């Protein structure tokens, strides 16, 4: 009996040690599984964050991309033709016709040296001078000489082989639409190409 009593504490101690070891092992396994789950959770959300950040950055870059500003080159053909006609009429002593035609030719020659169509990312604007300064208000209909492409209803270029006039109608000046005519004192092909790109293809052959 005595030996049994003496061995009992040792036996209990051994069982306690084994039980404690099993508990620690169980807790350790639980912690490992928890850590693995936690790492997987963090890794997943890091990946999601990276993907989200990538797409957000992509959208931001797309928004920042703007179309380049286009300024068609000046074209002196119309004023030169008008001045030539004026000279011909003057040679025939037809001064009543020569005078107005010559004045118009001189006016357009002057305008060709200074007036520019500037096509930026969102609008067409008429500017003047080498420094492309603002042209002020429109003398005929008022308002700034700047019209957004989204307001264009229709436009035309007369005539493709030898463009003389460019016409467009916009709703920015007034809701029912405002018509504008400009002599083509710019490179006709450059003007046509940029109008198609920014305002879309022309719809009809002339203004309504």
Q: Is the pTM of this model over 0.85?
A: no
| 130-131-133 Cα angle (round to 5) | 110
Phi first, then psi: what are they for 36, rounded to 5°? -65, -45
Closest residue by Cα to residue 131 from 118, 122, 142: 118
Q: What is the CATH number of domain 77-199?
A: 2.30.29
Residue tagged 């009809």 (tokens) = 204
Closest residue by Cα to residue 182 from 171, 168, 202: 168
Domain boundaries, the chain: 1-65, 77-199
What averages of pLDDT result for each successive group of 10 residues across the chain (208 residues)?
Answer: 40 44 48 50 49 48 75 97 97 96 97 97 95 84 90 90 92 94 94 94 62
């Amino acid at each position: 009996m005595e030996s049994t009593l003496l061995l009992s504490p040792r036996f209990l101690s051994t069982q306690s040690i084994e039980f404690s070891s099993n508990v620690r092992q169980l807790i350790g396994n639980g912690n490992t599984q928890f850590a693995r789950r936690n790492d997987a959770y963090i890794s997943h959300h890091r990946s999601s964050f990276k993907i989200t950040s990538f797409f957000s950055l992509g959208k931001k870059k797309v928004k920042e991309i703007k179309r380049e500003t286009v300024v068609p080159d000046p074209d002196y053909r119309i004023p030169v033709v008008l001045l030539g006609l004026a000279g011909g009429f003057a040679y025939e002593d037809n001064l009543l016709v020569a005078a107005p035609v010559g004045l118009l030719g001189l006016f357009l020659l002057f305008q060709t040296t200074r007036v520019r169509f500037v096509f930026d990312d969102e609008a067409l604007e008429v500017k003047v001078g080498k420094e492309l300064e603002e042209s002020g208000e429109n003398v005929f209909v008022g308002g700034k000489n700047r019209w957004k492409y989204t307001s264009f209803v229709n436009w035309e270029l007369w005539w493709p082989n030898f463009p003389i006039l460019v016409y467009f109608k916009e709703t920015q000046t007034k809701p029912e639409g405002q018509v504008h005519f400009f002599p083509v004192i710019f490179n006709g092909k450059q003007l046509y190409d940029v109008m198609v790109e920014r305002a879309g293809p022309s719809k009809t052959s002339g203004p309504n």
